[in-house]
């Protein structure tokens, strides 16, 4: 079985992504009945973080435990990741200990370096370029909250705000699946040409559509889902006054903007959020908001991803083989100690 990594949704076809979402839904159904199968019994996950995390860290660790496995949290600065040891050596060594690696790296190149050298599956838990696990979870959440009878290919998704790593992944997966995607932002903060080229190529294949515009009111008028993300991130503190001036108040998701969308519109945010900045409390805590269902779905998504990538590679010894090995070891211990 070929080794598969999960670094970019662009590495997968529409059919593969929809199959993954079907698997996640089966695992979620099992979880809701208290019947999660222990498919990864005895398996280990290394979680490498160069940045802090709440959702990614907890959902992967809890997910692995619920599947019968074990997760190691290797927090920023805890291991040699390109410092005092080459990335290649670290990736090869970790691969000898664990069955799967999940990493959050500052630079996308670090993620690609891990993939190049690891001999177990690597899952991208966010880089400066993208956040693929988040957006698989987002599509699952959209399917669960779509207007009754509406086909996935007819979903209208509008992202209002900065061209973040979540935006790149969201526009890629939505266009790959054939949805209609709109980005509304001031010119300077709109999706770059390179991302637009990828999204347009996806649309050509899938029949989806992609638009970028400055007017947020026009952008939300047919939206089934309005999504936003932080306007600045760690390392962009110097830009806060300029960014605040560019986005506020026009691009804030508040009730005035929601009222320009269809009545059924749902509000999404990957979190963490700066409440009162990119979205108001009134919206985040309204009936339109599905942000906590979205956050919960990270857990089900991580479990689906882990099973999808790891289960096919686990060594599955028969009861007879296990008994033979246990017998040999016990005989040795009893005759020597």
Q: Within positions 7 to 66, which residues make up the interface with ligand CP, using CB under 6 A? A: 53-56
134 binds ligand CP (CB under 6 A): yes
- What CA–CA distance (Å, rounded) separates 12 from 18? 10
Q: Is 137 a known active-site residue? A: no
Angle between helices 132-145 and 165-176 (to 10 degrees): 50
Q: Is 84 a known active-site residue? A: no
Q: Is 260 a known active-site residue? A: no
Q: Of the residues 57, 131, 269, 288, which is catalytic?
A: 131
Q: Is 275 a known active-site residue? A: no
Q: Of the residues 138, 270, 288, 300, which is catalytic?
A: 270
Q: Of the residues 5, 99, 134, 243, which is catalytic?
A: 134
Q: Which residue has the tokens 């664990």?
A: 98
- What CA–CA distance (Å, rounded) separates 307 from 67? 8
98 binds ligand CP (CB under 6 A): no
126 binds ligand CP (CB under 6 A): yes
300 binds ligand CP (CB under 6 A): no
Could you tell me how many residues of this chain bind ligand CP (CB under 6 A)? 9
- What CA–CA distance (Å, rounded) separates 309 from 304? 9
130 binds ligand CP (CB under 6 A): no
Contact 141, 268 (CB under 8 A): yes
Binding mask of the shown chain, residues 257 to 276, with x at each position contacting ligand CP by CB under 6 A: -------------xxx----
Contact 222, 154 (CB under 8 A): no
Any idea how long the chain is? 337
User: Min. distance of Cβ 294 from ligand CP in angstroms?
Assistant: 9
- What CA–CA distance (Å, rounded) separates 165 from 146? 24
- What CA–CA distance (Å, rounded) separates 138 from 229? 13
Residues in contact with ligand CP by the rule CB under 6 A: 53-56, 126, 134, 270-272
Active site residues: 104, 131, 134, 229, 270, 298
């Amino acid at each position: 079985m070929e080794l598969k990594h999960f670094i970019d949704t662009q590495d997968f076809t529409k059919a593969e992504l929809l199959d993954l979402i079907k698997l996640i839904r089966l695992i979620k159904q099992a979880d809701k009945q208290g019947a999660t199968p222990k498919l990864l019994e005895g398996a280990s996950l290394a979680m490498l973080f160069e940045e802090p995390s709440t959702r990614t860290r907890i959902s992967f660790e809890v997910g692995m435990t619920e599947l019968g496995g074990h997760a190691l949290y290797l927090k920023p600065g805890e291991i040699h990741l390109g410092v005092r040891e080459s990335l290649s050596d670290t990736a090869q060594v970790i691969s000898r200990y664990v069955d799967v690696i999940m990493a959050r790296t500052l630079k996308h190149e670090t993620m690609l370096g891990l993939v190049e050298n690891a001999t177990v599956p690597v899952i991208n838990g966010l880089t400066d370029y993208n956040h693929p696990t988040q957006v698989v979870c987002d599509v699952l959440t959209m399917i669960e909250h779509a207007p009754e009878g509406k086909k996935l290919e007819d979903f209208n998704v509008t992202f209002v705000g900065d061209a973040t790593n979540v935006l790149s992944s969201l526009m890629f997966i939505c266009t790959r699946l054939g949805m209609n995607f709109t980005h509304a932002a001031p010119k300077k903060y709109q999706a770059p040409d390179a991302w637009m080229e990828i999204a347009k190529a996806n649309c050509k294949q899938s029949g989806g559509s992609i638009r970028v515009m400055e007017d947020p009111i026009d952008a939300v008028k047919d939206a089934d889902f309005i999504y936003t993300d932080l306007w600045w991130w760690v390392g962009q503190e110097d830009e806060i006054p300029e960014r605040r001036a560019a986005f506020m108040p026009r691009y804030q998701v508040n009730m005035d903007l929601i009222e320009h969308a269809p009545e059924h519109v749902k509000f999404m945010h990957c979190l963490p959020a700066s409440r009162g900045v990119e979205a108001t409390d009134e919206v985040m805590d309204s009936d339109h908001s599905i942000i906590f269902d979205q956050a919960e779905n990270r857990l089900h998504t991580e479990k689906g991803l882990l099973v999808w990538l790891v289960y096919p590679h686990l060594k599955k010894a028969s009861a007879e083989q296990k008994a033979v090995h246990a017998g040999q070891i016990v005989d040795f211990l009893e005759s020597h100690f």
